[in-house]
A and B are shown apart, each in its own frame.
Chain A
Amino acid sequence: METGLFFESIIYLAAAVICVPIAKKLGLSSILGYLFAGILIGPFVLGLIGQQGEDIMHFAEFGVVMMLFLIGLELDPYKFWRMRRFIVGMGSLQVLGTTIILFLACLLVLKWEWEATLTIALALTLSSTAIVLQTLKEKGLSQTSMGRSAFAVLLFQDIAVIPILAILPLLADGDIQNKGINESLISDLQGWLQTLIVIGTIALIYFAGRFIIVPLLHVVAATRLQELFTGAALLLVLLVSYIMQMVGLSPALGAFMAGVVLANSEFRHELEGDIAPFKGLLLGLFFIGVGASINFSLIMVDPVFIIVFCTLFNVIKFLVLLGIGKIYKKSSDQNLLFGFALSQGGEFGFVILGFATQLNLMPTYLASQMMAIIALSMIGTPILLFINEKWIDPFFGVKEKDSGNKYDDIEDENNDVIIAGFGNFGSTIGRLLKTNGIPATVLDMDSDRVDSLRKMGFKVYYGDASRLELLQAAGCENAKLFIAAIDNPTVNLIVVEMIRKHFPHLKVLARARNRSNAFELVDMGINQFYRENLYSAVHLGVDALVELGHRRYTATRQGQRFIKYDEQAVLRLSQKRHDKKAFLMTAKEEIEMQEQLLKNDLYAQLGANDHAWESEDLRKENLENSNGDKK
């Protein structure tokens, strides 16, 4: 089994590594690459993986689980409240409209049992969160009005799954046959009792998360071990998913719940950053699984029915979406995109159909047919979007250009200032800004500090600021000012480098430990650096001068000049350093540089710049004049 897993991993990864770049080269989305990779290695083409890809699907469903966890994390109640009109309005219109039309159409034409028809209609109504969100992200459409609407509808669908799955047992008349398949602990109970337990579990997870998980994460975070936190995040997702599975619900829903529970906690961004890479990889695997699971032999039995049904249900969904877009006054190009993007069936369809089969709501054969149809439609979406982009969209002018501005109020956490590092240095900055009524988003690694500062009313997030995901989540796209104030100068440099690379628009004010640290910042194009010791050292020096009998104002002016001169010297010397082609400053060179600075100080004759309030010159001139008079 070990070697089997090993070999399979090689096949999946190889297929992905080969197919995805090809798809990208052809201008298609990576999802299509994954899907075709799946078809290719699946049982019906090369046959490299067996049992119609079921085993992968089982494993890769975790990609969807994690995606739902991440969606949950996005859904903090406040943000959800602001989006409510779109989520509830568009979402309910889509779910109800599509379900009713599909239900009536199927009932009239196909004459299945009404319970089965309703289940199928519900299953097909739900679009694929995985495909849509991944595609939008790839095409950079997430922040357009269409992208937000799609997200709203998907969110509603994701939530709608909960009542749908809760209702299905009620549709079933009780005589569940396939007890072997249904492993749920409560499946022997009555329908209404199951529903009650399901709802109870959800409530339990919600409250447990609030009062148990967050404190536990604090303990883990206090160890300061990055990998342990990642482990804890994975454990959390797995655990909740397992509990949900025990009561017979999809693990994805469990993860979603866990996400919502943690959306308001200070660990949100860190969890996002930790889970995202797993999600990406597993989601790829999921798409491969979808490709591999398409049962071509089943399709071949009745290809006409499958293709016609698939096309028709896509068209119905598409038209309903277009109608909703019209109601919400979308421009035609946005509306078309909206319609095409959400027209497929989704992974929840599999879940619902699977559950329905367990409940004996419909024949297994019909369910398999429907699953094949959903998988086909999922493959179809990237192709449809590609066609829309290339041949349909150009006919409808006006592209949405000012993306991001329209619904800015949906975004939370859009402070102009981001402070990385909230130690003594950063917190002083934060307090000064706060005193002046400027809110700042704060990123810090110390969870204890994060907690206590949050209690004091600061918006502090726990996380490693050198991670791109966290920087993005903190709103670097829209911020104006980034203050790099992390205690560890190496980490600080890495963060500054990330910012320069990924958010070149962002103005950076950087803390520097010492001169050589400042040189490195200058090399990155940062001219506003603040050596942490310079200013207090100069202040102390000024006081020393005062102690020795200098007048305070004169000493203070000397201090001002010294700082100005020293700042210029760093800029000058950083250039010189490159002339020498010295990549590393050795201790010896550091001493040389100090000597050079001292000499330069003498050359500049610090303080001889102006002669304000001095009267020597005047006296001399008076003397000359009076001497002249005498002659």
Chain B
Amino acid sequence: MPNKILILFAHPLFEKSNVNDVLVNHIPDSPNITFHDLYQEYPEFDVNMQREQELLLLHDIIIWHHPMYWYSCPPLLKQWIDIVLEHGWAYGKEGTALKGKLLLQTITTGGRKENYCSTGRDRFTIQQLLEPFNQTAKVCNLTYLPPFVVHGTHSMTTEGYIENGKLYRQILEYLENKTITPEDLSGYQYFNDWFKTKLG
């Protein structure tokens, strides 16, 4: 049984993002993968809770795909989290709707990977910065995987975009068709690093 993947994509200026254009274009055309463009669906931030919850129930792996803005996600994804992950449904005593599902973040940053450490410009590692998301996932009974990150997009060439696009496609195909044992990934900061070991 292939896994059903829901990509919740949030980018307020998608038409001007080169890297995300390439990444999104590399998403495999599969009946098991749903690409859900939040800024296209809810330009007025009126996220439809019912519809979103139904979508979540139909999928096994949830991906929050967004650029890193001010060490967080774009506001509409936060709005989505606020509205959709409801008490009594996603968390709380009776909130078990998402139990057993996997959560992956696909993140793009303009700055380079080296900046994201205690001695770097951004002072924190990606893992540290994403703790709020990790914790949200935990509260909602989701299994949080290390993030897939594309760093340094401001200084990236077209070849770089395409290389990452191809990688994203491989990852999605892997997630679709293979079973993931979350414990295997526990030592990894980045999904990228773990996936390298799978590629051999």
Contact = CB atoms under 8 A, between A and B. Distances in A.
Contacts of A225: none
A609 B49 contact: yes
B44 A610 contact: no
B92 A557 contact: no
Given A617-B87, A618-B87, A621-B87, A612 B46 contact: no
A611 B88 CA distance: 10
B46 A557 contact: yes
A50 to B, nearest CB: 74
Nearest to B53: A610
A561 interface: yes
A120 B41 CA distance: 72
Nearest to A610: B49
Interface string A582-622: 00000000000000000000000000011111000110010
A359 B86 CA distance: 97
A519 B47 CA distance: 28
Given A560-B46, A618-B87, A612 B82 contact: yes
Contacts of A580: none
A564 interface: yes
A612 B49 contact: yes
Interface string B71-100: 000000000001110111000110000000
Interface residues of B, number: 14
B86 A611 contact: yes
B92 A617 contact: yes
B181 interface: no
Contacts of B83: 610, 612
Contacts of B86: 610-612
Q: Is the interface of A mostly helix, strand, loop or mixed?
A: helix
A561 B93 CA distance: 29
A564 to B, nearest CB: 7
B119 interface: no
What size tier do the contact residues of chain A reach? 10 to 19
Interface string B137-166: 000000000000000000000000000000
Contacts, number: 30
B50 interface: yes
Nearest to A553: B45
Contacts of A561: 46
A611 B47 CA distance: 12
Contacts of B93: 621, 624
A618 B49 CA distance: 18
Given A610-B83, A611-B86, A612-B82, A618 B50 contact: no
Contacts of A617: 87-88, 92
Interface string A558-577: 00110010000000000000
Given A560-B44, A621-B93, A609 B50 contact: yes
Interface string A451-490: 0000000000000000000000000000000000000000
Contacts of A557: 46
A483 to B, nearest CB: 20
Nearest to A618: B87
Interface in A493-519: none
A95 B47 CA distance: 69
A556 B66 CA distance: 27
A141 B48 CA distance: 51
A617 B91 CA distance: 11
Contacts of B87: 611, 617-618, 621
A609 B49 CA distance: 7
**Residue of A560, A612, A613 with highest tally of chain B CB at under 10 A:** A612
Contacts of B49: 609-610, 612
Nearest to B52: A610
Contacts of B84: 610
A610 B47 CA distance: 10
- For the complex of A and B, the 7 pairs showing the least CB-CB separation, nearest first, are A610-B49, A612-B83, A560-B46, A617-B87, A612-B82, A610-B83, A618-B87
Given A561-B46, A613-B82, 18 more contacts: A557-B46, A560-B46, A564-B46, A609-B49, A609-B50, A610-B49, A610-B86, A611-B86, A611-B87, A612-B49, A612-B82, A612-B83, A612-B86, A617-B87, A617-B88, A617-B92, A621-B93, A624-B93
11 contacts: A557-B46, A564-B46, A610-B47, A610-B50, A610-B84, A611-B87, A612-B82, A612-B83, A617-B92, A618-B92, A621-B92
